[in-house]
Structure 1
Amino acid sequence: MTSHWADMDDDNLARELAGAAGELLLSLREQGRLTDPASLRSQGDRRSHEFLMEHLAAVRPADAVLSEEGADDAARLGASRVWIVDPLDGTREFGELPRVDWAVHVALWERGALAAGAVARPAMGSTLSTSRRPVPPVREPGPIRLAVSRSRPPEFVTRLAERLGAELVPMGSAGIKACSVIDDVTDAYVHAGGQYEWDSAAPVAVARAAGLHTSRIDGSPLAYNRRNPLLPDLLICRPELADVILTALAETADYEEAV
């Protein structure tokens, strides 16, 4: 398997790695049905991380890696190619059988920009990637639909929805929320309140490949492979809605400052 992957381009490699890690997680989840959920989550994070690190080292030995589950190596700051991975996005949902809203993120940053990415959704039987550019369906008329956390929707996004007259659609992991825009389940994913580069790198790469708008919530570009990997906010949305959502975001921020 590894020797075959070594000959792949980066887009297909991201897809294969994310998909294979997802299959490992599905197997682990099936075997661990009677396991304590906390133990299952811990095993999932660790096993998927170890799998991705082993195979990236084998097929792209010269590249650096930034993983949520690994120690950060400052050498990546001088590297021209850095894989940014979240071995298990939605660890909470992974431990709650039979939830399907969890994912595996694999992205490649190269010389200042995201160059490839894949979001595997193993329990949904689907992987979205830059190797097969997804095309979102035409949007039907109706209120804007905003993806939000199922367990802790931010008050900021609730106020944004009120300003937009939007509907809130609760769901699990960051990758699932981002991909919901591509699937036409939602029209936008707005997050403000704390994330890291591994939470959004792969979803943003895939969203861009699908022609969606991606930015910080103030409209500035999303930047990756920085010294501090904290990337606390983002907007992923249909391009025709970007201006109206960014305007509403600015007005919501102004309101928060006023109160």
Structure 2
Amino acid sequence: MTIRDDHALAADLATEAGQRLLRVRERLGYDDPAALRAEGDRSSHLFLMESLSRLRPSDSVLSEEATREERLDPRRLSAERVWIIDPLDGTREFSEQTPEGQGRSDWAVHVALWERGRLTAGAVALPAQGRTLTTADPPKPPAYDGKGRFRIAVSRSRPPEFVQKLAYLVGADLVPIGSAGAKISAVLTGEAEAYVHAGGQYEWDSAAPVAVALAAGVHASRIDGSELTYNQADPSLPDILVSLPELATSLLAGIRDLHR
């Protein structure tokens, strides 16, 4: 088993799970969004869990769709290798159509590997966009030239009030995007320059996109600048800042000013 194998495995599993989700959406359609969400969550979770059990039988797994008892299993905390997965990040977006009648594309599948205190591999599949971002071949985000306004990706349904104030303070525009994975991916692909969130999240919401962001040389931290930590007893990870490195200092300073 090599590190390269883990990179490739994360990418392969995320991509295949995403393809399966596209087929679920095509098969069920949008007439019953609740049923579509439930089947998407269930089928992707089962595929990823079965695959990891077969291909990495000695590793632990933390999944959004795991039972409470599975999440609290103390063996995960003493494991050296833990896969942190979100089988369907953006379940709501997965079950919705655009005004033009097309399925939304701002949802994702997350597969990340945590080893001995840090994220070492990860992939974010964006199935409806036809791409997977991976630590095997990290994207190269465009540099910010410091001219003009930049863009901060935010929740399309509940952007935190403080982020609206932050955007005014630092001279940025807000770009509503669906899932956390889609928002962080937007920073990596040049559709936004930053993502700021403080409305509550969990480890599976950010582990895979943060792994890819760090591999790509992008800044990722808590909004107070402290390190993002994973495989904790409490998987809550309530806030995050991901940005092009050129913007991190000014964004962190603006957040500090707003919280005084």
TM-score, length basis structure 1:
0.94
Equivalent position amino acid for 2:56 in 1:
R
Post-superposition Cα deviations, 1:45-73, rounded to whole Å, max 9, x if no partner, equal 01100000000000000000000001212
1:87 aligns with 2:81: no
Measured after TM superposition, the shift of residue 162 of structure 1 is 1.3
Post-superposition Cα deviations, 1:18-56, rounded to whole Å, max 9, x if no partner, equal 000000000000001154011000110011000000000
Within 5 Å, give how 1:45-56 maps onto structure 2. Answer: 45-56=41-52
Which of the residues 168, 183, 186 maps onto 1:177?
A: 183
Equivalent position amino acid for 1:12 in 2:
A
- Residue 75 of structure 1: aligned partner: 75
CA distance in 2, matches of 1:74, 1:187: 38
CA distance in 2, matches of 1:195, 1:40: 23
- What's the C-alpha RMSD, in Å, of the aligned pairs? 1.5
CA distance in 2, matches of 1:7, 1:30: 35
- Residue 165 of structure 2: aligned partner: 159
Post-superposition Cα deviations, 1:46-105, rounded to whole Å, max 9, x if no partner, equal 110000000000000000000000121221001000000000000000000311000000
The 3 A distance-change label for structure 1 pair 241 and 80 is: same
The 3 A distance-change label for structure 1 pair 7 and 236 is: closer
Post-superposition Cα deviations, 1:114-143, rounded to whole Å, max 9, x if no partner, equal 010000000000100001111112335321
Which of the residues 184, 189, 195 maps onto 1:189?
A: 195
Measured after TM superposition, the shift of residue 8 of structure 1 is 6.7
CA distance in 1, matches of 2:203, 2:117: 14
- Residue 20 of structure 2: aligned partner: 24
Which of the residues 109, 117, 122 maps onto 1:117?
A: 122
CA distance in 1, matches of 2:39, 2:88: 10
CA distance in 2, matches of 1:194, 1:133: 27
Equivalent position amino acid for 2:106 in 1:
D
Identity level (%): 60
The 3 A distance-change label for structure 1 pair 116 and 176 is: same
CA distance in 1, matches of 2:166, 2:75: 40
CA distance in 1, matches of 2:36, 2:75: 32
Deviation larger for 144-153 or 108-117: 144-153
CA distance in 2, matches of 1:203, 1:80: 21
- Residue 100 of structure 2: aligned partner: none
Equivalent position amino acid for 2:90 in 1:
G
- Preserved contact between residue 30 and residue 96 of structure 2 (Cα < 8 Å): no
1:96 aligns with 2:96: yes
The 3 A distance-change label for structure 1 pair 80 and 144 is: same
CA distance in 1, matches of 2:62, 2:210: 16
SS at match of 2:183: helix
SS at match of 2:259: helix
1:138 aligns with 2:143: yes
Measured after TM superposition, the shift of residue 154 of structure 1 is 1.1
Post-superposition Cα deviations, 1:214-249, rounded to whole Å, max 9, x if no partner, equal 110000000000000000001100001110000001
Measured after TM superposition, the shift of residue 153 of structure 1 is 1.0
- Preserved contact between residue 144 and residue 166 of structure 1 (Cα < 8 Å): yes
Within 5 Å, give how 1:25-40 maps onto structure 2. Answer: 25-40=21-36
Query: Which stretches in structure 1 are left out of the alignment for 5+ residues?
Result: 255-259
